[in-house]
Amino acid sequence: MSERNPTYYDGDLRRELLDAAKLALAEQGASAVSLRSVARAVGVSHAAPAHYFTDKTGLFTDLAAEGLALLADILTEQVELAGDDPVEGLTASGVAYVEFSQEHPGYFEVMFRRDLIDLNDPTYAESGVRALTVLTEAVAACQAAGWGRGEEAWVLTDVAWAAMHGVASLSALGVLGRPASSQDTDSVAAAVTRALSDAFRSR
């Protein structure tokens, strides 16, 4: 997606279209977002998005790739920050994953939707591999430190990913928390993520 001639004027319109799409996705969900509505939100011709993204799948794919790259960066940072404590690195990654989904619901809405994006897009795939590699290495470091021994490495990676992803998804749905109370979504997700991390940590 989106190969552009870098020697030429690289205006803000592409950026603005992506931001508008991200906002609309967060506020109204994917079913309400069209190329025309995005163009309308930015105030340009309805044909403009096709210039940058070819088609609707292109727009969503570029947005998903951008989000996935940011997520990979965030996970990498968390693992690096944790330094010599790999279990802390994995825990912090989980917390950061959930926070990412809350801070960027627009990204999260399309990042894992195979009916909306091209999973084989090189940029998207590269970031996906990067994020998964960080997670895999973090798990391997935990195992080297004695955590989760006796389990195959990829199983533990999937377990960690699934746990993070589950909290992020249900948190976005707004179904977590003490029944019939209106707690702050972020703090609920934080409590759940923390409890989940503790469960892993105590192994």
- Positions touching a second copy (CB under 8 A) are 28-32, 112-116, 132, 136, 151-152, 154-156, 158-159, 161-167, 169-170, 173-179, 188, 191-192, 195-196, 199-200, 202-203
Piece of the chain touching DNA by CB under 7 A; list 28-36, 152-160, 168-176, 186-194: 28-36
- Name the minimum Å distance from CB 62 to DNA: 13
46 belongs to the binding site for DNA (CB under 7 A): yes
41 binds DNA (CB under 7 A): no
Q: Which of 2, 13, 159, 176 binds DNA (CB under 7 A)?
A: 13
Q: What does the H/E/C string look like for 8-76?
A: CCCCCHHHHHHHHHHHHHHHHCHHHCCHHHHHHHHCCCCCHHHHHHCCHHHHHHHHHHHHHHHHHHHHH
Contact between 36 and DNA by CB under 7 A: the answer reads: yes
Q: Which does 108 bind (CB under 5 to 8 A by kind): a second copy, DNA, none?
A: none
When the beta carbons of 56 and 104 are compared against DNA, the nearer one is 56
9 near DNA, judged by CB under 7 A: yes
Nearer to DNA, 13 or 132 (CB): 13
Q: Choose which of 52, 107, 108, 200 interacts with DNA (CB under 7 A).
A: 52
d(CA 93, CA 98): 9
B/e letters for 85-103, b = 16+ CB within 10 Å, e = fewer, are ebbbbbbbbbbbbbbbbee
The site partner of 203 among DNA, a second copy, none (C-beta below 5 to 8 Å per kind) is a second copy
Give every CB contact of residue 123 below 8 A, 6+ residues apart in sequence.
1, 62, 65, 69
Cα–Cα distance for residue pair 76/50, rounded to 1 Å: 34
Place of tokens 């801070």: 103
Q: Using alpha carbons only, how large is the chain's radius of gyration in Å?
A: 19
